Amino acid sequence: MGGKVILFVICIVFNNMEIVGNKTVMRCINKIMKIGIPRALFYYYYFPLWEKFFKELEQEVILSNPTNKVTIKMGVEAAVDDACLPVKVFHGHVMDLAEKVDAIFIPRIVSIEPGRYICPKFLGLPEMIKFNLNDLPPIIDIKLDLYNKKASILEHFFKIGKFLNKSRAEVLKAYFVAIKNFAFYKNYIRLYRKIPTEVFNNEILNYDDNNFKTITNQSKPCFKVLLLGHPYNLYDDYISMNLIKKLKLYNVKIITYEMLSEKKIFQGAKKLSKEMFWTLGRNILGSAFYFLDNEKVDGIISVASFGCGPDSLVGELLERRVEKEYKLPFLYLNLDEHSGEAGFNTRLEAFFDILEGRLTSESNFSSLR
């Protein structure tokens, strides 16, 4: 009896006994696949992890082109008109990839930490793509749901491995390399307060401490600005209209929530009367409250896309708290496909005029809304 149970357990662990529930997930025959990752949404969060994982499994990773006029145009035409800009842009990126790759990686991201969700649009993203776009290669729409337990992440990667016809041992090995690399990347960002996309492009992620020092020599910045918003809005240079580059021109030291550890975000989020159930929203509020309480910043820029559900409440809470408790200049930028760059620049200029004014004047001006 006991032997049977052990045998069964061994079967589960070593033989690919689990079932991939979705019909679109077909097993591939050739060994090296071109896997397309749309350069949108959670690319800005998980790319180092995904890339390393697929490379370890000897697959080719192909990214869509950076967001451009064509991507947005295609996305806006294909997507349902109520969707927010990042989701529309995502449609465009998938269309961009459609003819170049063997499979497109669009995981169904339900929850990336226990007890918290991502926006509902992410939950239905694979369906939105499948039923709005035609002639797509197979979509890897495997669920990532850590709502109940964190260990489900392994299951997620096993299922991806199953799709790629890899054994569990291979997947496990690739997973550990990738997750170690990802942890290193996260620590690197926190330690040196880097913008994630800078790290993506510099490709310094090879465990070499000497590389760190060369990049961190920078002249002393003038302003410290807390830049809040979802990573896929902030770091997409086309959506955010080069916001980060423009801020660099103003010689600004940018702080984003990726630069804070989970512990600090937790500490900040305690100021909320009710635990927030969106990971991204909680990160924004938690990092803002922690930062404003513990470090000095000159101003806050909050970036949201038009029609963003969580941000309509998160932004509201943030704005009210900042106004009441911290009295800091606060710039709220709302992005959509019709945003004009001139108006955007004017608002940014006005914001920095206020920051400069506050520097020179003895008494602080009232906060900007």
Partner 1 sequence: MKVTFPHLGNMYIPLKSFFECLEVDVVVPPACSKRTLELGIKYSPEFACLPLKINIGNYIEALEKGADTIIMAGGIGPCRFGYYAEVQREILKDAGYKFNMVVFDPPKGHLWELFKKLEMITNKKIYSYNNLIYAARLAWQKAKLLDELDMMACRARPREKFEGETDKFYKKSIKLIGDVMTLTGIKNIQKQIEIMFRDLILTNSDSPRIGLTGEIYTILEPFANLNIEKQLGEIGVEVHRSIYITDWVRHNLFPAFLKPREHKEFLDSSKPFINCFIGGHGQESIAYVAKCAKEGFNGIIQLLPFTCMPEIVAKSVLPSASRKYLMPAMTLVLDEHAAEAGLRTRIEAFVDMIKYKSEVQNENEMFIGH
Interface ranges with partner 1 (CB under 8 A): 22-23, 79-80, 82-83, 108, 110, 116-121, 123-124, 127-128, 131-132, 143, 272-274, 276-278, 306-313, 315-317, 320, 324
Shortest spacing between CB 115 and partner 1, in angstroms: 8
In the chain, how long is the greatest CA-to-CA distance? 82
Determine contact, residues 16/167, Cβ cutoff 8 Å: yes
Shortest spacing between CB 118 and partner 1, in angstroms: 7
Determine contact, residues 304/334, Cβ cutoff 8 Å: yes
Q: Quick one: which of 337, 268, 330, 343 has its CA closest to 303?
A: 330
Strand ranges (DSSP E) for 8-159? 34-37, 60-63, 103-105, 108-111, 139-140, 143-145
State the Cα–Cα distance between residues 333 and 347, nearest whole angstrom: 9
Pick between residue 188 and residue 289 the one whose CB is nearest to partner 1.
Answer: 289
Shortest spacing between CB 86 and partner 1, in angstroms: 13
Pick between residue 63 and residue 140 the one whose CB is nearest to partner 1.
Answer: 140
State the Cα–Cα distance between residues 307 and 59, nearest whole angstrom: 37
356: left (phi over 0), alpha (psi -120 to 50) or beta: alpha
Shortest spacing between CB 13 and partner 1, in angstroms: 26
Pick between residue 258 and residue 311 the one whose CB is nearest to partner 1.
Answer: 311
Pick between residue 108 and residue 358 the one whose CB is nearest to partner 1.
Answer: 108
Shortest spacing between CB 313 and partner 1, in angstroms: 5
Q: Quick one: which of 109, 315, 354, 94 has its CA closest to 223?
A: 354
Pick between residue 124 and residue 357 the one whose CB is nearest to partner 1.
Answer: 124
CA 187, 179, 26: angle at the middle one, nearest 5?
145
Shortest spacing between CB 203 and partner 1, in angstroms: 35
The tokens describing 369, both together, are 């809304």
Shortest spacing between CB 330 and partner 1, in angstroms: 14
Pick between residue 100 and residue 130 the one whose CB is nearest to partner 1.
Answer: 130
State the Cα–Cα distance between residues 95 and 73, nearest whole angstrom: 11
Pick between residue 120 and residue 357 the one whose CB is nearest to partner 1.
Answer: 120
